């Protein structure tokens, strides 16, 4: 039997490729791995410990907040507070970013952006949810506390990104810009073990993922593209957790689309902690991620923490095809 490689071993091993690395990024990634195990434990027992249901509030972008969203958010912050590698956190569940108070954290080189629990509407019905994260190197003096500029960086400045999918098994996928690797949690060992080495997305694919219930709210070009997917006998698969839907498309090949709608004229997903990390992963797997202006998601300027963006990402051929539909059907004056 081949010897297993744990996430921690893998991260340490990768650090050797960078002779001047100080180990802080590796430390931060390992801390995220531990925080993920804690969130995983609670997601699995949510029904038992009475943290299902609504918290009674709405978050920055108007979504109803589930108790488990807040729990995951608090656990991640708590873990980072004690780690010393992360200077601040911007999260879907926080109106403003927070600075981590300890001296080591204050002077850390990195900040974290996170969607602590993605797909919350699925929690109460036992369907897969996820966590999305991205890490930026600070642009301000790291002898001082972090500032908003450290967070408002385009996705092309991410030094690492990843997601955790709490599904039939729990898997952590991450990249530091040099390919993508995936680790499945072995519950008997309590370790993430390397299971998807050098992950690549198929260039073509037979799946499309979109909330087709909004069909009549989409632009003409999007409706024509959906018709084309249907005409091509592609399968529609939509869980309603971006992490799960994108993960399927990475493994089997496909496209995920969350376009503008009449209700959400800027799209629904948040660029900083949803679109950018997922776009970096997909690109690093060999796919493409663009917005409805056909701009590369990772190059779009980020001007506020909860900025929204339409997004289309997945297998290269399918994203290219969507682009052709926009060029063909979008009215000239738009
Ligand atoms: P979150 O639970 O973090 O707010 O994200 C939910 C997102 C995303 O995961 C999913 O793709 C999308 O919302 C689903 O939205 P619709 O219900 O509008 O399709
Ligand atoms: Mn989300
Ligand atoms: Mn969320």
To the query of whether residue 118 is one of the catalytic residues in this protein, the response is: yes
Between CA 143 and CA 141 the distance in angstroms is 5
Given a contact cutoff of 8 angstroms between Cβ atoms, the answer to whether 177 and 149 are in contact is: no
- Is CATH 3.40.640.10 the right assignment for the domain spanning 7-196? no
Residues composing the chain: 334
pLDDT, position 227: 97
**Furthest-apart CA pair in the chain: how many Å?**
62
Phi, psi of 110 (to 5 degrees): -120, 155
pLDDT, position 85: 92
- Cβ of 68 closer than 6 Å to ligand 1, yes or no, is no
**pLDDT more than 90, % of the chain:** 79
Q: Which CATH class is domain 207-329?
A: alpha beta
Supply the DSSP symbol for 245. Answer: H
Tokens of 46: 């949510």
Nearest ligand atom owner, CA of 121: 1
CA pseudo-torsion sign 61, 63, 66, 72: negative
Between CA 80 and CA 94 the distance in angstroms is 15
pLDDT, position 65: 62
Between CA 28 and CA 136 the distance in angstroms is 11
CA dihedral defined by 180, 142, 95, 309, rounded to 10 degrees? -40
Q: Which of 269, 263, 249, 260 is nearest to 317 (CA)?
A: 249
pLDDT, position 45: 81
Q: Where are the domains of the chain?
A: 7-196, 207-329
Mutate to test the pocket of ligand 1, among 164, 211, 244 (most ligand atoms within 8 A of CB): 211
- Cβ of 154 closer than 6 Å to ligand 1, yes or no, is no
pLDDT, position 294: 97
Tokens of 195: 């299971």
Supply the DSSP symbol for 6. Answer: B
Between CA 115 and CA 93 the distance in angstroms is 8
- Burial of 106 per CB tally in 10 Å (0-12, 13-18, 19+): middle
Between CA 168 and CA 244 the distance in angstroms is 11
Between CA 179 and CA 142 the distance in angstroms is 28
3-state secondary structure of 110: strand
Between CA 14 and CA 226 the distance in angstroms is 41
Do 7-196 and 207-329 have matching folds?
Answer: no
pLDDT, position 102: 83
Percentages of the chain per state (helix, strand, coil), in multiples of 5 = 35, 25, 40
Task: Show the CA angle centred on residue 309, arms to residues 135 and 313, nearest 5°.
Answer: 75
pLDDT, position 91: 98
Mutate to test the pocket of ligand 1, among 269, 271, 272, 279 (most ligand atoms within 8 A of CB): 269
Tokens of 237: 């698969």
What's the CA-to-centroid distance between 52 and ligand 3, angstroms? 14
Enumerate residue ranges in the chain where pLDDT < 50: none
**Tens digit of pLDDT for each residue in 100-143?**
988 788 789 999 999 999 998 888 888 999 999 999 999 999 88
Residue nearest (by alpha carbon) to ligand 1 atom 6:
119
Distances (CA, A) of 256 to 59, 143, 226, 238: 24, 41, 11, 9
């Amino acid at each position: 039997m081949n010897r297993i490689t744990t996430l921690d071993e893998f991260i340490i091993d990768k650090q050797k490729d960078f002779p001047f690395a100080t180990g802080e990024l590796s430390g931060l990634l390992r801390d995220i791995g531990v925080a993920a195990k804690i969130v995983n434990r609670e997601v699995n027992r949510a029904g038992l410990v009475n943290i299902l249901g609504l918290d009674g509030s709405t978050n920055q972008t108007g979504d109803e907040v589930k108790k488990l969203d807040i729990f995951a958010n608090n656990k991640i912050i708590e873990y980072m507070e004690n780690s010393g590698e992360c200077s601040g956190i911007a999260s879907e569940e926080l109106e403003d970013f927070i600075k981590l108070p300890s001296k080591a954290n204050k002077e850390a080189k990195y900040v974290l952006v996170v969607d602590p629990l993605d797909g919350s509407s699925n929690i109460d019905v036992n369907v897969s949810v996820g966590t999305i994260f991205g890490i930026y190197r600070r642009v301000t003096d790291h002898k001082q506390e972090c500032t908003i500029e450290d967070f408002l960086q385009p996705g092309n400045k991410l030094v690492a990104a990843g997601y955790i999918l709490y599904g039939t098994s729990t898997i952590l996928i991450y990249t530091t810009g040099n390919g993508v690797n995936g680790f499945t949690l072995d519950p008997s060992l309590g370790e993430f073990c390397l299971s998807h080495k050098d992950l690549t997305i198929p260039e073509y694919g037979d799946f499309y993922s979109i909330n087709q219930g909004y069909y009549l709210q989409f632009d003409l070009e999007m409706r024509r593209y959906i018709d084309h997917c249907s005409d091509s006998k592609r399968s529609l698969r939509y869980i309603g957790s971006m992490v799960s839907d994108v993960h399927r498309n990475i493994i089997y090949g496909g496209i995920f689309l969350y376009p503008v709608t009449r209700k959400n004229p800027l799209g629904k997903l948040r660029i900083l902690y949803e679109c950018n990390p997922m776009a970096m992963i997909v690109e690093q797997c060999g796919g493409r991620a663009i917005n409805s202006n056909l701009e590369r998601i990772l190059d779009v300027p980020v001007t506020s923490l909860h900025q929204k963006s339409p997004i289309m990402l997945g297998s290269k051929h399918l994203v290219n095809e969507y682009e052709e539909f926009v060029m063909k059907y979008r009215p000239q004056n738009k």
